[in-house]
Amino acid sequence: MTNLMKMRCHMLAALSIAAILTVVPASASQAVTLEVGRQAKVSAKVCDYDWRKGAFHVKQLIRCAAEHWNVPGGAALALYIADRESHYYPNAYNPSGCAGIYQHMLRYWPERATSFGFRGWSAYNARANIIVTMRMAHDGGWGPWGT
């Protein structure tokens, strides 16, 4: 096997692992992670809706998280903003560098995700994106989303 073929195999393996981790975190049985500052862990049982089943389930997850974290404007505003940002599509991407249900800027996502209990999770993981957003809205309102 030539060096070029070996390198291609290694690259393919790395890309496959990255693709899997984009959808499923390292530990799918828990919603994560280390205690970061004042932010508490998020139990996998909190708002346990399978967002992969489609928009209806994404909306259920948003309603649950909005109520759980008592966000300003409640579930109605949270749903409105998600519809406006992505039409409830977890893989939504904007060329300006925003991704996921609530269109987080990818350059800010790792710090936000870590701060709110989802270290290492992808912005395309709807559960992480929604819960991080609800916790941000609970703490500081909907300012980053223009409301």
Residues written for the chain: 147
Q: Quick one: which of 73, 130, 68 has its CA closest to 103? A: 130
Which phi and psi (to 5°) does residue 130 adopt? -70, -45
- For tokens 């270290």, the residue is 119
pLDDT digits (tens, 9 = 90+) for 25-49: 443 333 333 343 445 667 777 888 8
Q: Residue 28: what pLDDT?
A: 35
Q: Residue 146: what pLDDT?
A: 85
Q: Quick one: which of 10, 14, 34, 12 has its CA closest to 22? A: 14
Please give the model's pTM, rounded to 2 decimal places.
0.72
Angle, to 10 degrees, between the axis of helix 74-86 and the axis of helix 126-140?
130
| Calpha distance 42→127 (Å, rounded) | 11
- For tokens 């799918």, the residue is 28
Q: Residue 45: what pLDDT?
A: 78
Q: Residue 44: what pLDDT?
A: 76
Q: Do 36 and 114 form a contact (C-beta atoms < 8 A)?
A: yes
pLDDT digits (tens, 9 = 90+) for 61-120: 999 999 999 999 999 999 999 999 999 999 999 999 999 999 999 999 999 999 999 999
The domain ranges of the chain are 27-145
Q: Residue 1: what pLDDT?
A: 52
Which phi and psi (to 5°) does residue 137 adopt? -65, -40
